[in-house]
Structure 1
Amino acid sequence: MTFTRRQLLQTTGASALLASLGQHAFAQASLETATIVTGFAAGGTSDTTCRRIAQKLSPDYAKSAVVENRTGAGGQIAVSYVKGRPADGATILQTPTSILTIYPHIYKKLPYDPMVDLTPVSIACIFDFGFAVGPSVPASVKTVPEFLAWAKANPAGANFGSPAAGSTPHFIGALLGKKGGVELKHAAYRGTQPAMLDLLGGNISAVSGPIGDITQHLASGKVRILGVSGAKRSRFAPDVPTFGEQGIQDMAHSEWFAFFLPAKASPELVARLNASMKTALAHKDVIEGLGNFGLEAMSSTPGELTDLLKKDTAKWAPIVKEVGFTAEG
């Protein structure tokens, strides 16, 4: 199944699902507290998404909602934690889909099975990635091809950071290096913000990360976005050309944040949370708040999210093989 932003933004599947379940889905008492778990540090796009949704989560689902940052292992710790929680709806996972669609290809022993240990609820937002350089790269470098040429001529500066090893931004940076004929050394961080701090400090040359994690640092004057990963220019950085516009082909990659419950969550519970998420994601404050971080809010049905996971898992298999990256699980 092929998804477009318009289709996902206009989805009405949650309402149909609720109707099929009947009004008893609403009869269940709301939870006292729902905990939304993210595997990334406070201040980043994943954390921001969680906090925006927590503020608007329907009281019909939970009387209050809190966010818990369980960082480490590129997001695996958060997924593993939610996997082990009761399927009573009190613990919700929010994660980039790459942790579920790319990691199975790079870890021999993954502590979870994305299609078995989690129950899809809804997509949260879609976003593109940016490739940015900092003060250690000469101001004369204004495009991605120019950076790759500079990196080839300056091996000590041929490096980049990303929010996690095996993440989509990691593979984007690695692919750019391969296409430019230069090995870019990768530095993995616990989220994009720590990587951006090292970029600003001149400790690394470049960062590959969600566009919103980068644009918030442009005011410093020390960061320049050289390219974006979308099929078309990002509305959050309209003056920055895509990789494709710069002659780098087959590099259109976007990603989703999505919400999940532990495995075996009841259909009624999934429907309730899906409806609450859909309402929250359509709220003006949430749309504008996520937009400030380069995120385009949207929702989906649980079935659409399941199909998307299957589609993206298949997409990344040959890409991982091309890059040749593996990790010890």
Structure 2
Amino acid sequence: MTMQRRIFLAAGASAAASLAGPAFAQAGMPDTARFITGFPPGGTSDTICRRLAARMTGSYARSVVVENRTGAGGQIAVQAVRSMPADGTNILQTPMSMLGIYPHIYRKLAYDPFADFAPVSLGAQFDFGFAVGPAVPVSVTTVPQFLAWARQDPARAAFGSPAAGSVPHFIGALLGKNAGMELRHASYRGSQPAVLDMMGGQLPAVSAPIGEFLPHLSTGKIRILGASGAARSKFAPGVPTLVEQGFKDMAFSEWFGFFLPAAATPDTVSRLNAALRPALASADVVDGLAVMGLEAISSTPGELAARLKSDHDRWGPIVKSIGFTAES
């Protein structure tokens, strides 16, 4: 064989390997992966999933989609993923409440947050806001003023939240408890339906992730009276915290996390974690979530597991002090 022919054949083999490489790399890539959320389109949970689905399509799976399984305050999605194949294609995205708080309020929960799921990564963290709409006089500009206004007419002492037994629900309940009054709670399937009712004047106030209010502030139909963080939210720096307004020990934040069914192998968990972390750090995801009042973060599976355990233990005594159960 001549030297020229050897060079030609080597070059051809190299080119073929170059072209075949991506195909070989994608040979084990699933056709479809799903982010499954228990909340409707348009809210913060859905927004995180859609941002990441767009970012991870073609790298984690050929197609990454979002499936909204609403109902039962987010439980429908959690229950569904629990029994799905643990091959990395069925990804639960959920707020902490469904796993850290619900065990304290449901006597018969259809899932075990620690035994039924494999933690993968944190996704975002956020504060809550307490806001009012057109049904409340414009002279009401603080949470204590709202409580004083509601106390004058108990029929108006009401607020909505995205789910019974969620952190926003308990923030409203704690505000009433601290003020020596009861605020009636209206549970919705997600924050946006509650926010729209508030904007329409059917509901005086809503407790929800602060980002749920931001897109509507320009309408002039929403006023955020207080924020739940330990410090003022960078997304609403002009809004005083609840602690600043005299509600001591009422500093609450929450997170969204990603989980797989418990049977997922360590390799499957690691593959998803390795795909999520750069996606969550990308500028388009970080900036896109910031619009919704969300701070994009990631973690190791162990860090997420530890944070869930810590929040689960913190909320037990709080729930007991409020006296709420799913049957109450």
Q: Structure 1 length as normaliser, TM-score?
A: 0.91
1:242-286 deviation per Cα after TM superposition (whole angstroms, max 9, x unaligned): 001111100000000010011110100100100100010000000
Q: What's 2:13 paired with?
A: none
8 Å CA contact 1:58–1:280 kept in 2: the answer is no
RCO higher in structure (CA 8 A, sep ≥6): 1
Alignment of 1:197-212 (within 5 A): 197-212=196-211
1:90-239 to 2 correspondence within 5 Å?
A: 90-239=89-238
The two structures, once aligned, show a CA RMSD in angstroms of 1.3
Partner of 1:128, secondary structure, is strand
One-letter code of the match for 1:202? G
- In the alignment, is the contact (CA less than 8 A) between 1:217 and 1:223 conserved in 2? yes
Paired residue for 2:80?
81
What whole-Å deviation, never above 9, does each CA across 1:16-43 have from its counterpart, x for those lacking one?
A: xxxxxxxxxx898111110110000100
CA separation in 2, counterparts of 1:270 and 1:62? 15
2:5 matched residue in structure 1: none
How far 1:144 sits from its partner (Å)? 0.4
Instruction: Give distance in 1, aligned partners of 2:300 and 2:207.
Output: 30
Question: Which residue number corresponds to residue 70 of structure 2?
Answer: 71
Long gaps (5+) in structure 2: 1-24
Determine what percentage of the aligned residue pairs are the same residue: 64
The AA in structure 2 aligned to 1:265 is A
Is the 8 Å Cα contact of residues 130 and 210 (structure 1) preserved in structure 2?
Answer: yes
SS of the residue 2:272 aligns to: helix
Matched to 2:235, the amino acid is F
Letter in 2 for 1:283: S
Displacement of 1:60: 3.9
Unmatched segments (≥5 aa) in structure 1: 1-25
Task: Number of aligned residue pairs: give it.
Answer: 304
Cα deviation, residue 296, structure 1: 0.1
- State whether residues 82 and 111 of structure 2, in contact with CA within 8 Å, keep that contact through their aligned partners in structure 1: yes
Scaled by the length of structure 2, the TM-score of the pair is 0.91
Match of 1:244 in 2: 243
- Do the aligned residues in 2 keep the contact of 1:109 with 1:328 (CA within 8 Å)? no
Contact 2:57 2:64 (C-alpha < 8 Å) held by counterparts: no
Q: Find the counterpart in structure 1 of residue 34 from structure 2.
A: 35
* Contact 1:127/1:256 (8 A) holds in 2: yes
**Counterpart residue identity of residue 197, structure 1:** L
Task: After superposition, give the CA deviation of every residue in 1:59-117 in whole Å (9 maximum; x if it has no partner).
Answer: 34211100000000000000000001011111000000111000000000001000011
Runs of 4+ deviating beyond 6 Å: none
Q: Which has the larger radius of gyration?
A: 2
Q: Distance in 1 between matches of 2:26 and 2:42?
A: 36
Distance in 1, matches of 2:214 and 2:175, equals 20
Distance 2:49 2:112 in 1: 23
Corresponding residue for 1:304?
Answer: 303
Counterpart CA distance in 1 for 2:326 and 2:181 is 21
Residue 31 of structure 2 aligns to a residue whose secondary structure is strand
Inter-partner Cα distance in structure 2 for 1:216 and 1:251 = 25
Contact 1:151 1:182 in 2 (8 A): no
Per-residue deviation, 1:328 = 3.8
The SS at the match of 1:197 is helix
